[in-house]
């Protein structure tokens, strides 16, 4: 980390100037296969939190103290190793997620970015997002993260109701959240996202819509609406099981979602994914990669990745998971340069199924060009055009299949999981009948 200091700092400066220009475009012109193989997104997992949130089942730990220098050096090592293993030459975006990555020092963020910039091309306008928790993100810290290379913030605001925030086990209040949001917007104009949850136990449609309206008065160009999923093993799940809290009402949640979508549309937001809304083109390029089934490397404890290892026999993309527990992960990284715990080869069909399931989560759906990148032989028409079941879904207006490609209608997007139960078997069938070359 000694030599490239200057270069890295140059990159930060260049990125700063570029970030205002940059606007992610949903359906960009597809790059060549080789270019695609050599580029990826990078996810960095920071597994530590100050406090456990009642709804969260992510891979996170509440440590007494973090040996940050050691952890940082492991992140750097793993980034280098995976870049080398994957043969990736270009990192399109970086996302620091967690856990609570805003608890990390900006120096750690900088170190990872520097390592990446050394080993691969990190374009000056590459999106670098940090998940930020309102309580751990005073303006000065946010500015420091900006200096380290972060150019986009995702704020875990979750609610603008203090009672709800308490129920969720969050450490911040609604006013903390709004203050953080204002500071973030000042530092990263047009590059701030906020999360708002819906479908909490006992939550009412009217008051939730009130929160959304208030948020619209304060927010930037990106909002994520997440319906609460009760996950086994969380405090909230237990409380609902024991009857201490009422179970979230599916009907009400659906109503909040539908009304929320409509409100955001009216406010000029494009719903570019099931839970994600952006205006002025402020889509998250990083997340877009997931839904477009681009390659991504995952570093840090429990991080997931999907890429084609260099020199792999055949040309099989792998789903990879890093070791979950931070201490073990660190040991492994020190020992072999990476903490990959599990590698699952994805078959061509597996990958196509992901292309289908992920792509349909977006508003553009799966374009013919996009599909062709993954499956040059069978067109979307070949796969879905003749199915009676799909025809019914088209007639009922849940799906559209036209010259642009296959996508969900406004109504269809909300019930995508049901649609996929018809589409996936259809894809499998078409795949089996595909003439072997």
Partner 1 sequence: MWVLACWGWRRRHALVQWLPLPCRGRTRGAPLEPWALARLYSNADRKEKFDMSRFPVENIRNFSIIAHVDHGKSTLADRLLELTGTIDKTKNNKQVLDKLQVERERGITVKAQTASLFYNCAGKQYLLNLIDTPGHVDFSYEVSRSLSACQGVLLVVDANEGIQAQTVANFFLAFEAQLSVIPVINKIDLKNADPAKVEKQIEKVFDIPSDKCIKISAKLGTNVESVLQAVIERIPPPKVHCKNPLRALVFDSTFDQYRGVIANVALFDGVVSKGDKIVSAHTQKTYDVNEVGVLNPNEQPTHKLYAGQVGYLIAGMKDVKEAQIGDTLYLHKQPVEPLPGFKSAKPMVFAGMYPIDQSEYNNLKSAVEKLTLNDSSVTVYRDSSPALGAGWRLGFLGLLHMEVFNQRLEQEYNASVILTTPTVPYKAILSSGKLIKEYREKEIMIINPAQFPDKSKVTEYLEPVVMGTIITPDEYTGQIMMLCQARRAVQKNMVYIDQNRVMLKYLFPLNEIVVDFYDSLKSLSSGYASFDYEDAGYQTAELVKMDILLNGNIVEELVTVVHKDKAHSVGKIICERLKDSLPRQLFEIAVQAAIGSKVIARETVKAYRKNVLAKCYGGDITRKMKLLKRQAEGKKKLRKIGNIEVPKDAFIKVLKTQSDK
Residues that bind partner 1 (CB under 8 A): 43, 59, 225-229, 250-251, 253-255, 257-258, 274-275, 287, 290-291, 296, 298, 302-306, 319, 321, 344, 350, 353-354, 357-358, 361, 392-393, 396, 398, 413-421, 424-425
Angstrom distance (rounded) from CA 358 to CA 367: 13
Nearer residue to partner 1 within complex by CB, 18 or 410: 410
Q: Among residues 418, 413, 153, 419, which one has the least CA distance to residue 262?
A: 413
- Cα 209-212-213 angle, rounded to 5 deg: 90
Closest separation in Å from C-beta 201 to partner 1:
16
Nearer residue to partner 1 within complex by CB, 101 or 106: 101
Closest separation in Å from C-beta 69 to partner 1:
26
H/E element, 341: strand 340-345
Closest separation in Å from C-beta 398 to partner 1:
7
- Radius of gyration of the chain measured on its C-alpha atoms: 22
Closest separation in Å from C-beta 428 to partner 1:
8
Nearer residue to partner 1 within complex by CB, 147 or 341: 341
In order, the DSSP letters of 164-189 are HHHHTT-S--HHHHHHHHHHHHHHST
Nearer residue to partner 1 within complex by CB, 255 or 363: 255
The sign one gets for the Cα dihedral 147, 148, 154, 156 is: negative
Closest separation in Å from C-beta 254 to partner 1:
3
Closest separation in Å from C-beta 88 to partner 1:
16
User: Could you tell me how many helices (H) and strands (E) the chain has, helices first?
Assistant: 18, 15
- Cα 139-194-25 angle, rounded to 5 deg: 110
Q: Are 407 and 363 in contact, with CB atoms under 8 Å apart?
A: yes
Nearer residue to partner 1 within complex by CB, 279 or 304: 304
- 391 Cβ partners below 8 Å, 6+ apart? none
Nearer residue to partner 1 within complex by CB, 118 or 224: 224
Q: Among residues 368, 301, 373, 283, which one has the least CA distance to residue 340?
A: 301
Instruction: Look at residue 17 and give its three-state secondary structure.
Output: helix
Closest separation in Å from C-beta 305 to partner 1:
8
DSSP state of 39: E
Nearer residue to partner 1 within complex by CB, 136 or 426: 426
């Amino acid at each position: 980390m000694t030599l490239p200091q200057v270069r890295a700092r140059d990159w930060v400066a260049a990125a700063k100037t570029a970030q205002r220009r940059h606007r992610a475009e949903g359906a960009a012109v597809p790059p060549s296969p080789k270019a695609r193989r050599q580029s990826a997104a990078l996810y960095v997992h920071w597994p530590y939190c100050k406090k456990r949130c009642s709804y969260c089942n992510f891979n996170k730990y509440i440590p007494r103290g973090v040996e940050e220098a050691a952890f940082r050096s492991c992140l750097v090592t793993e980034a280098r190793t995976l870049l080398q293993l994957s043969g990736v030459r270009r990192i399109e975006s970086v996302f620091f997620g967690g856990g609570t990555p805003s608890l990390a020092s900006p120096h750690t963020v900088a170190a990872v970015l520097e390592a990446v910039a050394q080993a691969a091309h990190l374009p000056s306008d590459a999106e670098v997002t940090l998940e930020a928790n309102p309580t751990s993100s005073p303006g000065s810290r946010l500015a420091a993260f900006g200096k380290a290379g972060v150019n986009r913030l995702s704020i875990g605001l979750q609610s603008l109701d203090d009672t709800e925030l308490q129920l969720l086990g969050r450490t911040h209040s609604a006013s903390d959240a709004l203050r953080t949001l204002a500071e973030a917007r000042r530092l990263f104009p047009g590059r701030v996202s906020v999360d708002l949850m819906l479908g909490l136990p006992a939550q009412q449609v009217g008051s939730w819509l009130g929160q959304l309206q208030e948020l619209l008065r304060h927010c930037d160009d990106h909002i994520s609406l997440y319906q609460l999923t009760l996950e086994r093993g969380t405090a909230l799940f237990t409380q609902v099981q024991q009857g201490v809290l009422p179970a979230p009402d599916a009907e009400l949640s659906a109503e909040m979602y539908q009304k929320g979508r409509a409100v955001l549309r009216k406010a000029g937001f494009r719903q570019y994914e099931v839970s994600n809304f952006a205006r002025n083109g402020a889509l998250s390029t990083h997340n877009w990669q997931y839904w477009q089934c681009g390659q991504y490397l995952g570093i840090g404890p429990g991080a997931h990745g999907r890429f084609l290892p260099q020199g792999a026999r055949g040309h099989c993309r792998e789903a990879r998971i890093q070791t979950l527990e931070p201490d073990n992960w660190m040991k492994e990284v020190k020992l072999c340069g990476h903490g990959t715990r599990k590698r699952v080869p994805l078959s061509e069909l597996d990958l196509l199924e992901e292309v289908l399931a992920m792509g349909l989560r977006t508003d553009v759906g799966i374009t013919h060009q996009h599909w062709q990148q993954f499956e040059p032989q069978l067109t979307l028409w070949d796969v879905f055009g003749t199915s009676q079941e799909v025809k019914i879904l088209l007639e009922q207006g849940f799906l559209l299949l036209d010259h642009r490609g296959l996508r969900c209608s406004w109504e269809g997007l909300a019930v995508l999981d049901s649609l996929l139960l018809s589409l996936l078997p259809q894809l499998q069938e078409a795949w089996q009948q595909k003439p072997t070359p």
